[in-house]
């Protein structure tokens, strides 16, 4: 079982710097966990990401489950052997992908229903836009989730036992209990029914986890409950009574980022302080600050790599789109204040030129920059907490 | 002007090992020149390719010309500054891309008309397959080539003066005279008319090259003449009478690889021995051996990167398709006899898994392997020539 230790707490917020020890090495927290969905980071090697401070990586159980690739990984001895890396790994439970294929499609939403800053702009909020809504491919019962695999139409079934068995075979250092990720549009009644079921799944997950020989893995329980205060509190009460190594805060996280902060404010203070907390699938720069100051220790998110694929750079001056025509003549680096290899060596004009020509190397350069940016941000946050300057750093980044 | 020196000649063939000195460094020949079409290798950094023995890289003038990007590069001070690399570079004249948009489309062919080993399989040879034939977008006159840019329909004009001016602004170490690359389906009369015009363009190219302040660049003349012996000989006679630094053997190279060998046999022995010779756009493993033993010093080809994008690995046992289902369980490296990082670290199963999932990192791994394979092959060839063992190496590779 991994160990977690808090090294330093911020005076004014719940932010804390800590250390998470796993069989494959140490993670300095707060940490950003780059996502290697199908066993690879999109556009960069694990080795390089690790050099920039990537201590741990997230692989998605769902993708290894649906096409049976977990059996192949098992033959290799686990993900570490299959990917041939020695770094700590996380796997999620598959619950989020089940949501994506289910309510995600039916409601046309993600983990937060309305990501537009103006909120409820007509035609853009999924509630007002039937075109965003598709067929729900999932049927969830007490037993688990039955769904159609979009690639081949095959019917598959995922439940607590299968998820945990698979995650044990994958062998990541930190794994998650199987949960239902409800929709930000699910109502109180559905969410209430769902968390009770998720809690029974949590018990089944733990039971499956404890079967057989002891492993070095640590399992986190997941706190659900949508945007309903009493349900989130109920979830915390129940899940934290179980012997989980740590806790994941699961989506849905409301209608907007403000709701997400509310949900974190409801749950984090009543979770056991000494245990590590993970915010699932969230990781914009502002989210990181808002999560850390509420006591989140680790974040996984596809943002740095996904944004890069779409030509968007994270910079100290905010996001910029290098695919737009705006930077085609710029001799400046992608981000003047960044110390990465890309910003030390290349102009916005060159990176922009490659991206606008759909050159794979343009994506590689921007992935390297974006990932460096996020991992460097986490390093600065850890240092700031240690130096008692977290608030100062927050103001610097979120002007 | 670069310098070329022959260090060692093979006893039994025309193969030779040499050294090409440019303002940006030394190229050991025979050399493979990886292609960075639009200013980047597809899937790997110049730095890594250089580590594996990539002494020089090819950038395509056409792509920097058509969208006016050469003007931006000029503002940076040249390609070396725009790409921020210190390695020797080559640019081609744009003639081949003009062919691609012209006869290439009209005849539905590449540089060699029939790449199928069986030759003239009904329906597959472009002559028999009207579906392969498209509209010729080019009009070639004495003055130059007028063509429609496929991206925006804009009419553009490329002639000897524009090509050389552009290449001077791009600032590569080795540049090429502007030529018409005829089609493997062009007849004798057309080809005869065309090479006379290409020779007038060669004179114009040299004149433009010599204008203004002297540069460190060396210009190669291009030998055309299709698959007609007397025309190739005429081309050699004329082009080699001009003060070119070296010579490129241009396409078309016949109907099959056998024709290509014939064309090399006609031209190389009568070209000045002491000057470097480049085979334009050709670079399969067998082509390398067949070119080197006839006296070719440098080859550029997109093969290693393009094949990788399509999931094909170059191995000592021949090409294998890692996208096929055949290798999904294989714990073996991509190529047992290869010393690259990929073959030292990863299984065919892992690389195959990534490629079958369309993961960008799978392409990156395979590009690295394929490029290492080609550059390592060239190293072995140079060593074999020096050791008097070229024939032996050839037999080892081309069983």
**CA-CA distances (angstroms) from residue B29 to A327, B86, B175, B267?**
39, 19, 17, 19
Q: Which pLDDT does position B255 carry in this prediction?
A: 85
Nearest to A30 by CA among A44, A45, A20: A20
C-beta separation of B82 from B76 below 8 A: yes
The residue in chain B having the minimum alpha-carbon distance to the alpha carbon of residue A329 is B72
How sure is the predictor about A106, in pLDDT bands with cuts at 50, 70 and 90? confident
Q: Does one domain contain both B277 and B378?
A: no
Distances (CA, A) of A273 to A5, A10, A269, A277, B163: 11, 13, 8, 9, 69
Least confident of A248-252, A309-313, B78-82: A248-252
Are residue B291 and residue B325 in the same domain, yes or no? no
Alpha-carbon distance values, A239 to A243, B189, B212, B387 (Å): 8, 85, 78, 72
The structure tokens listed for B375 are 């550059």
How far does the CA of residue B75 sit from the closest CA of chain A (Å)? 9
User: To probe the interface with B, which of A360, A367, A369 has the most B CB atoms within 10 Å?
Assistant: A360
What pLDDT was estimated at residue A119?
Answer: 37
> Cβ of A84 and B38 within 8 Å?
no
Query: CA-CA distance, A251 to A227, in Å (whole number)?
Result: 9
Of A69, A329, A350, the CB nearest to B353: A69
Residue tagged 């649906």 (tokens)? A66
Same domain for B208 and B150: yes
**Cβ(A223)–Cβ(A248) under 8 Å?**
yes
- Which residue has tokens 């995922």? A158
Exposure of B364 in the CB half-sphere (CA atoms within 13 A): 20
User: How many C-alpha atoms does B307 have within 13 Å on its Cβ side?
Assistant: 24
Length of chain A: 399
CB B210 within 8 A of CB B281: no
Considering the domain architecture, whether residues B295 and B374 belong to the same structural domain is answered as no
For residue A377, being part of any structural domain is answered with: no
- Which site among B34, B38, B358 would you substitute to test the A interface, given the most A Cβ atoms closer than 10 Å to its Cβ? B38
Picking from A64, A309, A359 by the largest number of B CB atoms within 10 A of its own CB, the best residue to mutate is A359
* Partners of residue A40 in chain B, C-beta under 8 Å: 354, 359-362
Cβ density class A151-188: b for 16+ within 10 Å, e for less: eeeeebebbbbbbbbbbbbbbbbbbbbbbbbbbbbbee
B265 and B353 fall within a common domain: no
Query: How many cross-chain Cβ pairs, A to B, lie less than 8 Å apart?
Result: 89
Whether residues B349 and A38 touch (CB distance < 8 A) is answered with no
Catalytic pick among A92, A259, A284, A287? A92
Q: How far is A42 from chain B (nearest CA, A)?
A: 6
Q: What is the pLDDT of residues A214-237, one digit of tens each?
A: 899 999 999 999 999 999 999 999
**The dihedral of CA A18, A21, A24, A25: what is its sign?**
positive
Residue B300 annotated to the active site: yes
Of A40, A84, A354, the CB nearest to B354: A40
| CA distances, A240 to each of A188, A203, A253, A262, A271 (Å) | 22, 12, 19, 19, 7
Residue B253 and residue B328 in one domain: no
> pTM above 0.80?
yes
3-state SS, B112-179, equals CCCCCCCCCCCCCCHHHCHHHCCCCCEEECCCCEEEECCCCCCEEEECHHHHHHHHHHHCCCEEECCC
Is residue A119 assigned to a domain?
yes
Per the domain annotation, does B143 fall within a domain?
yes
Catalytic pick among B284, B297, B300, B335: B300
CA A236 to chain centre: 19
Same domain for B160 and B219?
yes
Percent of chain B with pLDDT over 90: 80
Q: Which tens digits make up the pLDDT trace of A119-144?
A: 334 445 555 566 667 778 888 999 99
What is this model's ipTM? 0.92
Whether B230 and B321 map to the same domain: the answer is no
- Into how many domains does chain A fold? 1
A117-125 long-range contacts (CB < 8 A, ≥24 apart) are A119/A255, A119/A256
Chain B residues bordering chain A (beta-carbon distance below 8 Å): 38-45, 63, 69, 72, 75-76, 82-84, 309, 328-329, 331, 345-347, 349-350, 353-354, 357, 359-364
Q: Which of the 8 DSSP states describes residue B316?
A: T
Q: Report which of A6, A30, A25 is spatially closest to residue A380, judged by C-alpha positions.
A: A30
B190 and B244, same domain (yes or no): yes
Residues of A in contact with B353 (CB under 8 A): 38-39, 69, 72
Q: Mean pLDDT across the stretch A271-280?
A: 98
The 3-state DSSP class for residue B185 equals coil
Closest partner residue to B360 among A43, A63, A75, by Cβ? A43
B38:A354 CB<8 A: yes
- B272 with B381, same domain? no
B43: nearest CB among A82, A350, A361 = A361
From A6-10, A93-97, B12-16, the region with the lowest mean pLDDT: A93-97
- pLDDT average, residue stretch A207-219: 95
Listed in sequence order, the residues at least 6 apart from A138 whose beta carbon sits closer than 8 Å to its beta carbon are A98, A101, A102, A103, A145, A146, A147
What tens digit of pLDDT does each residue of B158-192 get?
999 999 999 999 999 999 999 999 888 889 999 99
Query: Which of residues B279, B301, B323 is at a domain's end?
Result: B301
> What's phi and psi for B146, nearest 5 deg?
-100, 135
> CA-nearest residue of chain A to B329?
A72
Sign of the CA dihedral with A29 first, then A33, A34, and A39 last: positive
What is d(CA B346, CA B334) in angstroms, rounded to the nearest whole number? 8
Please indicate, yes or no, if residue B239 is contained in any of the structural domains. Answer: yes
When pLDDT is cut at 50, 70 and 90, the band that residue B326 belongs to is very high
Interacting residues of B111 by C-beta distance below 8 A, sequence separation 6+: B96, B181, B184, B251, B252, B253, B281, B282
Question: Which residue's entry shows tokens 């429609």?
Answer: B148
CA dist B11 and B17 (Å) reads: 12
The residue with greater pLDDT, B116 or B307, is: B307
Q: Which of B55, B92, B179, B259 is catalytic?
A: B92
> Does residue B230 carry a catalytic annotation?
no
Tell me if B366 is assigned to some domain: yes
pLDDT (tens digit per residue) in B348-396: 999 999 999 999 999 999 999 999 999 999 999 999 999 999 999 999 9
Over chain A, what HEC string results?
CCEEEEEEECCCCCCEEEEEEECCEEEEECEEEEECCCCCCCCCCHHHHHHCCCCCEEECHHHHHHCCHHHHHHHHCCHHHHHCCCCCEEECCCHHHHHHHHHHHHHCCCCCCCCCCCCCCCCCCHHHCHHHCCCCCEEECCCCEEEECCCCCCEEEECHHHHHHHHHHHCCCEEECCCCCCCCCCCHHHHHHHHHHHHHHHHHHHHHHHCCCCCCCEEEEEECCCCCHHHHHHHHHHHCCCCCCEEEECCCCCCCHHHHHHHHHHHHHHCCCCCCEEECCCCCHHHHHHHHCCCCCEEEECHHHHHHHCCEECCCCCCEECCCHHHCCCCCCCCCCCCCHHHHHCCHHHHHHHHHCCCHHHHHHHHHHHHHHHHHHHHHHHHHHHHCCHHHHHHHHCC
First to last CA, chain B: 40
Show which of B272, B301, B330 is a domain's final residue: B301
Please state, in angstroms and as integers, the Cα–Cα distance from residue A292 to each residue in A29, A81, A99, B215, B298, following that order: 10, 32, 26, 57, 56
Is there a domain that residue B306 lies in?
A: no
Of B159, B168, B183, the residue nearest B94 (C-alpha): B159
Lateral strand order in the sheet of B16-22: B3-9, B16-22, B25-29
The per-residue pLDDT for B239 is 98
**Where residue B156 sits, what CATH number does that domain have?**
3.20.20.105
Which residues on A lie below 8 Å from B358 (Cβ)? none
State the DSSP code for B35.
B
- Tell me the pLDDT band of B299, cut-offs 50, 70 and 90: very high
Residue B307 falls within a domain, yes or no? Answer: no
Q: Is the dihedral of CA A232, A17, A205, A57 positive or negative?
A: positive
Q: Tell whether B271 and B345 lie within a shared domain.
A: no
Domain that holds residue B112: 3-301
Using CA atoms, how far residue B263 sits from A232, B32, B115, B182, B255, in Å, is 78, 20, 16, 14, 11
**Which residue from A73, A91, A78 is spatially nearest to A36, judged by alpha carbons?**
A91
Nearest-angstrom CA–CA distance, A332 and A2: 44
pLDDT at residue B120 greater than cutoff 70: no
> How far apart are alpha carbons A83 and A128 in whole angstroms?
44
For residue B144, count other CB atoms closer than 10 A to its CB: 22
Handedness of CA A109, A112, A116, A121 (dihedral sign): positive
For A372, the token pair is 């460096």
Q: Are residues B392 and B293 part of one domain?
A: no
Instruction: Give the mean model confidence (pLDDT) for residues B222-236.
Output: 97
Q: Is residue A386, in this structure, part of any structural domain at all?
A: no
Name the domain boundary from B301, B332, B355: B301
pLDDT tens across B52-102, in order? 999 999 999 999 999 899 999 999 999 999 999 999 999 999 988 888 777
């Amino acid at each position: 079982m991994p160990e977690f230790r808090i090294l330093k707490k911020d005076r004014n917020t719940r932010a804390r710097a800590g250390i998470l020890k796993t069989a494959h090495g140490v993670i300095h927290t707060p940490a950003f966990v780059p996502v290697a969905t199908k066993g690879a980071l999109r556009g960069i090697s694990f080795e390089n990401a690790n050099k920039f401070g990537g201590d741990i990586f997230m692989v998605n159980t769902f993708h290894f489950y649906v096409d049976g690739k977990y059996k192949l990984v098992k033959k290799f001895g686990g993900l570490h052997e299959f990917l041939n890396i020695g770094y700590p790994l996380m796997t999620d439970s598959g619950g989020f992908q089940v949501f994506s294929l289910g309510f995600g499609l039916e409601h046309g939403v993600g983990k937060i229903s309305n990501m537009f800053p103006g909120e409820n702009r007509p035609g853009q909020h999924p509630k007002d836009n039937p075109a965003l809504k598709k067929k729900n491919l999932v049927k969830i019962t007490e037993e688990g989730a039955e769904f159609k695999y979009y690639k081949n139409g095959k019917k598959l079934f995922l439940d607590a036992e299968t998820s945990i068995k698979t995650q044990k075979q994958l062998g990541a250092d930190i794994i998650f209990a199987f949960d239902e990720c409800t929709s930000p549009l699910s109502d109180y009644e559905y969410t209430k029914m769902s968390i009770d079921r998720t809690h029974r799944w949590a018990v089944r997950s733990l039971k499956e986890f404890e079967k057989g020989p002891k492993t070095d893995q640590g399992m986190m329980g997941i706190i659900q409950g949508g945007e309903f205060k009493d349900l989130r509190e109920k979830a915390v009460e129940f899940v934290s009574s179980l012997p989980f190594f740590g806790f994941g805060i699961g989506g849905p996280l409301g209608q907007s980022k403000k709701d997400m902060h509310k949900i974190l404010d409801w749950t984090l203070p009543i979770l056991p302080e000494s245990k590590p907390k993970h915010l699932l699938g969230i990781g914009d720069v502002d989210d990181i600050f808002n999560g850390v100051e509420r006591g989140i220790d680790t974040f996984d998110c596809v943002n740095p790599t996904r944004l890069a694929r779409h030509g968007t750079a994270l910079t100290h001056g905010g996001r910029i789109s290098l695919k737009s025509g705006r930077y085609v003549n710029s001799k400046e680096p992608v981000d003047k204040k960044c110390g990465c290899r890309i910003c030390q060596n290349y102009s916005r004009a060159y990176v922009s030129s490659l991206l606008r020509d759909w050159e794979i190397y343009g994506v590689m350069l921007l992935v390297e920059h974006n990932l460096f940016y996020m991992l460097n941000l986490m390093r600065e946050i850890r240092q700031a907490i240690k130096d008692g300057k977290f608030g100062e750093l927050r103001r610097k980044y979120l002007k």
